[in-house]
Structure formats: structure tokens, C-alpha cells
């Protein structure tokens, strides 16, 4: 745990007692604060009381006595409308912050010589893989590394700071909206495509939330920006004055360094074009060797990891070795098993069409399992990839709408994961060729599963129930 100082003896309202809320309360209490907790869920309140926390109905509390409101990232700050606790905090002049801001203040309270380094990653897609990949590369290089945030362990539940350690933190737009002083040594924006627009009032608000990752950085900090989408490119233009502390990452030939216009001449460039990673125009390695990093999107992730590792002093050789030995991230292009000549790929984390695009683009042909609770636009944007779909197997609430959108592309409504896996496996095996069964749902999981992890594990269980050999098994 990372104790949070600065609120000793003061009452702090904490709303939302999920992973980040309870962890924040524990960290505040360890730092000497007096957290007062509330959640709409009775069971969550009971858990907090069982841990000895003060639980008080914040709807009727005297807010003038609170020094801050720690808001769970799931509670709306601005859109579609502010959460009632936000209104009460603002009316009382109480600052509103989140767990990432508490983490930033805990580190800022340390003497300069004792502060660890922080790498922070945000973006619409790729941030979890990039976070895990950076953590792996740094650990393989012999560094003390703690990985968490929006991935895995809540940031304040990570081990307490020690000199020389590195925190690799995934941060969401919701978390960034609740920061004011978060200043990572290396800040990464992977990409920006439409997502969570209801929570940010549209693309402009969403992009502005993502850009907050760079807002408090100091003069020695590094900004890494993916410019393969117009929003990332616009943010890079806003940061161009940082000169060589700005590194631009692209996987597109038309963004090659030689073609860039005046304004970026001092910025650094990392390219990952056709799987070839290059830094400042100098060849680094061929990512085709990295079996856990297939596709253009993973080449982008690798470019970010390379740049982050080098910014923290990792040698060229050690950084390459880390990239090429990365075992992969669960539920993101994860090779889970093989049955005969058929490989089964778990990409359950692809909860929107743009994420599924990355997976579908990585294979010339696949037997595609898709569906769940559809997001705005469904799979409309994937039409150009339908020719790569040998057959689609549709599950969940979106099965009907997805079937209508697929049109003449071979498909069937499987309904649930077990049926989809069995039918896809049979269809793939019947070709007698090397084939891929790909779970990349392009939809949220909440119609049938509590989260994408549970959906991915259901896929894995269904595959193994067919007698498939787990990846790495014998």
C-alpha cells in the first residue's frame, strides 16, 4: 500500500467503494486522514464497516467539514450529468479528486532523491498491452517495477515507494479527469477513437481528458504520442514546443519522419512500419519474431514500450530482448490453445469495433466469434474487413443486429459462448487448413458476463473442453 499524506486529521469523503474507492480509503487512513465512506450498494457499505471505516450517508452529510471528495471513476464528473456527490462537493467548495491524484500527491511528498519514476499510459485501445509490455521489458532489464492502475491492481494498493523503483500505470479518461498534479516521468497516449462519449460530452471532451496526462509534466519529462489518428496528431501539434522531449509514434508510411512538416523538426520519431521497428530512422528489430505481438496495433504498442524503456535508461539490447520475449497479455490477442491445425485466439478485451479491427486485421482469414452488448455504431466500421471473415458466430444481445449488418458474409447466430466455440471449431477443422478461431467481440460483455475477463475465461474453458492443447502445453 502507498500511504497518502497531506490530509492528517481531516475528514475526506469517499464515494464509490469498488476496487479504487476502498483502496483509496485504506491509503488515506494509513496517511492519517479520516475517510468517511458511502456507496449506493448495501453490501459495499457493509464491507467498509467490517474493515472499521466510518460509513455515513453522504446525501445528508455536512459537506463543509470535508477537505476533499475522492470520487470513484465510475461516477460521472460532468456528463451526462454530474453525480449528486459532485454537486454537493462543488456547492461546499470541496475539491474533487481520484485515486491517481492521491498517488501523485503521495509521491510528491517524498524527498526528490527518494521518488520513484512513473510511466503512465492512456488511450482508447492498446493501453493495457502497452502497460504490461513496458512492465515486462523493464523487469527483464533488472529494474524494480510495479504495474497497476486501471489494469490489475489499483494504484494505491501497489507496494510503497522505494528509490529507483518504477511504477507503470494504466490510466483511464475517467481517472485523468480527476487529476490536477499527476506528472508522470514518461506519459504515453496510444491513440484516440470514439469511446465513452456520453461521459465526456463528445469527442472534444474525451480528447481533452486524455491530454491531461501531459498537463502537469515537468521540463525533464517525456511525452510519447501516437499520431495514427487525427486526434493524436492534433495533441502532438499542441506539444510540439517540447522539442526532443516529445516522441511521435507511427505505424503509417505517410507519417515517415522525412515527410513531416516544420514544427516537428526537434521531436523524435519511432516508427513501426510493416513490423519493422525503427528509432530516429535507425533499424531496431523485426517484430515478426515476437510471437505475442502480431499485427500493426501491437507494433505500435512495441514502439511505445521501446521508447519508454530507452527514456528510462534501458540499453538498446535489453529493450529489444524484452520486446521479443514478451509472453502476451491475457484476453488481448492471446493464443490460448491449438486443436489440430486450428489456433484459438482470445481477444475478449476488444469491447468496441476499433479494438476488434486490430485483431481482424492481423489475420488474412478467421472464424470470428463476435457479439455481446453493442456500442454505438456496432460493427458498421468493420465492413471493409468482412472479406477476411470465413464465417462469423454471433452471441449475446448483438447477435441479431450483427447478423443483419454482416449481410452476405457467412454467419450464424450461436447464442452463447459454448455453442459458438464448438461451431467455429468444427467449421475451421473442416477446411483441413491452418485456421484461426478468433474471439474479438466488438461489444461489451455485460449482457452475459460481469466483465471481459470472465468472457475470455469462458472462451478458454469452452476451447479446452474440446480437448485442445493449451498454448505452451504438450
Q: What is the pLDDT of residues 382-418, one digit of tens each?
A: 999 999 999 999 999 999 999 999 999 999 999 999 9
In this predicted structure, the answer to whether residue 472 has a pLDDT above a threshold of 70 is no
In this predicted structure, the answer to whether residue 9 has a pLDDT above a threshold of 80 is yes
Q: What are phi and psi of 236, to 5 degrees?
A: -60, -40
pLDDT reported for residue 256? 46
pLDDT reported for residue 39? 95
In this predicted structure, the answer to whether residue 12 has a pLDDT above a threshold of 90 is yes
3-state SS of 175-210 is HHCCCCCCCCCEEEECCCCCCCHHHHCCHHHHHHHH
Residue-wise pLDDT for 59-70, tens only, equals 999 999 999 999
Cell output for 9: 486529521
pLDDT reported for residue 234? 92
Q: Which residues contact 362 (CB under 8 A, 6 or more apart)?
A: 294, 295, 296, 297, 298, 333
* Residue 23: C-alpha distances to residues 4, 168, 169, 197, 411 (Å): 11, 18, 15, 27, 45
Please, which pLDDT band fits residue 311 given cuts at 50, 70 and 90?
very high
In this predicted structure, the answer to whether residue 196 has a pLDDT above a threshold of 90 is no
The more confidently predicted of residues 262 and 116 is 116
- The total of other beta-carbon atoms located within 10 Å of residue 22's CB is 24
Nearest one of 75, 101, 221, 74 to 169, comparing CA atoms: 101
Alpha-carbon span 428 to 422, nearest angstrom: 10
Nearest one of 78, 96, 86, 85 to 200, comparing CA atoms: 78
Residue-wise pLDDT for 161-188, tens only, equals 999 999 999 999 999 999 999 999 999 9
In this predicted structure, the answer to whether residue 436 has a pLDDT above a threshold of 60 is yes
Check: CATH 2.40.240.20 for 334-470? no
Distance of CA 424 to the CA centre of its chain: 29
Burial class (CB in 10 A: 0-12, 13-18, 19+), 9: exposed
Share of the chain above pLDDT 90, in %: 82
Share of the chain above pLDDT 70, in %: 97
In this predicted structure, the answer to whether residue 463 has a pLDDT above a threshold of 90 is yes
Average pLDDT score over residue span 422-428: 98
Q: Where in the chain is the domain with CATH 3.40.50.720?
A: 11-97
* pTM to 2 decimal places: 0.82
Q: Where in the chain is the domain with CATH 3.40.1190.10?
A: 101-325
pLDDT reported for residue 267? 78
pLDDT reported for residue 254? 56
Q: Where in the chain is the domain with CATH 3.90.190.20?
A: 334-470
What is the pLDDT of the chain when averaged over all its residues? 93
The more confidently predicted of residues 350 and 126 is 350
pLDDT reported for residue 255? 47
Average pLDDT score over residue span 49-66: 96
Q: Which residues contact 47 (CB under 8 A, 6 or more apart)?
A: 17, 22
Query: How big is the chain, counted in residues?
Result: 474
Please, which pLDDT band fits residue 474 given cuts at 50, 70 and 90?
very low
Kindly report which listed range (29-33, 123-127, 198-202, 213-217) carries the lowest average pLDDT score. 198-202
In this predicted structure, the answer to whether residue 264 has a pLDDT above a threshold of 70 is no
In this predicted structure, the answer to whether residue 13 has a pLDDT above a threshold of 60 is yes
Please, which pLDDT band fits residue 294 given cuts at 50, 70 and 90?
confident
Nearest one of 2, 398, 395, 324 to 165, comparing CA atoms: 2
Nearest one of 170, 168, 130 to 328, comparing CA atoms: 130
Average pLDDT score over residue span 352-367: 92
Please, which pLDDT band fits residue 263 given cuts at 50, 70 and 90?
low
- CATH class of the domain whose range is 101-325: alpha beta
Kindly report which listed range (130-134, 262-266, 272-276, 288-292) carries the lowest average pLDDT score. 262-266
pLDDT reported for residue 17? 92
Q: Among the CATH numbers 3.30.70.1560, 3.40.1160.10, 3.40.50.720, 3.20.20.150, which is that of 11-97?
A: 3.40.50.720
Amino acid at each position: 500500500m502507498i500511504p497518502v499524506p497531506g490530509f492528517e486529521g481531516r475528514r475526506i469523503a469517499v464515494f464509490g467503494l469498488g476496487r479504487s474507492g476502498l483502496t483509496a480509503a485504506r491509503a488515506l487512513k494509513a496517511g492519517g486522514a479520516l475517510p468517511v465512506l458511502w456507496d449506493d450498494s448495501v453490501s459495499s457499505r457493509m464491507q467498509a464497516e467490517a474493515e472499521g471505516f466510518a460509513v455515513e450517508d453522504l446525501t445528508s452529510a455536512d459537506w463543509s467539514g470535508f477537505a476533499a471528495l475522492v470520487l470513484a471513476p465510475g461516477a460521472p464528473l460532468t456528463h451526462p450529468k454530474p453525480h449528486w456527490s459532485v454537486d454537493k462537493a462543488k456547492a461546499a467548495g470541496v475539491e474533487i479528486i481520484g485515486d491517481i491524484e492521491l498517488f501523485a500527491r503521495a509521491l510528491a511528498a517524498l524527498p526528490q532523491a527518494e521518488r520513484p519514476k512513473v510511466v503512465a499510459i492512456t488511450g482508447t485501445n492498446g493501453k493495457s498491452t502497452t502497460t504490461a509490455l513496458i512492465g515486462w521489458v523493464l523487469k527483464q532489464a533488472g529494474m524494480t517495477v510495479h504495474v497497476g492502475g486501471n489494469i490489475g491492481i489499483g494504484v494505491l494498493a501497489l507496494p510503497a515507494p522505494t528509490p529507483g523503483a518504477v511504477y507503470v500505470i494504466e490510466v483511464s479518461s475517467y481517472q485523468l479527469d480527476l487529476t490536477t498534479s499527476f506528472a508522470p516521468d514518461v506519459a504515453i497516449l496510444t491513440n484516440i477513437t470514439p469511446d465513452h462519449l456520453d461521459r465526456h460530452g463528445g469527442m472534444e471532451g474525451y480528447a481533452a481528458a486524455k491530454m491531461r496526462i501531459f498537463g502537469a509534466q515537468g521540463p525533464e519529462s517525456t511525452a510519447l504520442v501516437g499520431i495514427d489518428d487525427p486526434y493524436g496528431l492534433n495533441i502532438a501539434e499542441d506539444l510540439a514546443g517540447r522539442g526532443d522531449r516529445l516522441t511521435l509514434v507511427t505505424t503509417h508510411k505517410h507519417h515517415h519522419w522525412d515527410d513531416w512538416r516544420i514544427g516537428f523538426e526537434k521531436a523524435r520519431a519511432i516508427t513501426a512500419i510493416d513490423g519493422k521497428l525503427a528509432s530516429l530512422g535507425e533499424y531496431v528489430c523485426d517484430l515478426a519474431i515476437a510471437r505475442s505481438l502480431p499485427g500493426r496495433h501491437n507494433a505500435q504498442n512495441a514502439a511505445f514500450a521501446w521508447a519508454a524503456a530507452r527514456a528510462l535508461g534501458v540499453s538498446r539490447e535489453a529493450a529489444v530482448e524484452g520486446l521479443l520475449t514478451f509472453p502476451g497479455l491475457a484476453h488481448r490477442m492471446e493464443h490460448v490453445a491449438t486443436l489440430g491445425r486450428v489456433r484459438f485466439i482470445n481477444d475478449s478485451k476488444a469491447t468496441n469495433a476499433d479494438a476488434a479491427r486490430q485483431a481482424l486485421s492481423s489475420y488474412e482469414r478467421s472464424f470470428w466469434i463476435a457479439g455481446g452488448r453493442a456500442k454505438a455504431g456496432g460493427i458498421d466500421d468493420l465492413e471493409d474487413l468482412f472479406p477476411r471473415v470465413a464465417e462469423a458466430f454471433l452471441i449475446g444481445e448483438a447477435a441479431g443486429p450483427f447478423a443483419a449488418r454482416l449481410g452476405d458474409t457467412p454467419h450464424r447466430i450461436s447464442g452463447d459462448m459454448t455453442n459458438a466455440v464448438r461451431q467455429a471449431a468444427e467449421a475451421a477443422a473442416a477446411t483441413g487448413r491452418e485456421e484461426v478461431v478468433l474471439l474479438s467481440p466488438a461489444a461489451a460483455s455485460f449482457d452475459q458476463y460481469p466483465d471481459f475477463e470472465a468472457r475470455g475465461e469462458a472462451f478458454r474453458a469452452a476451447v479446452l473442453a474440446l480437448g485442445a492443447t493449451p498454448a505452451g502445453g504438450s
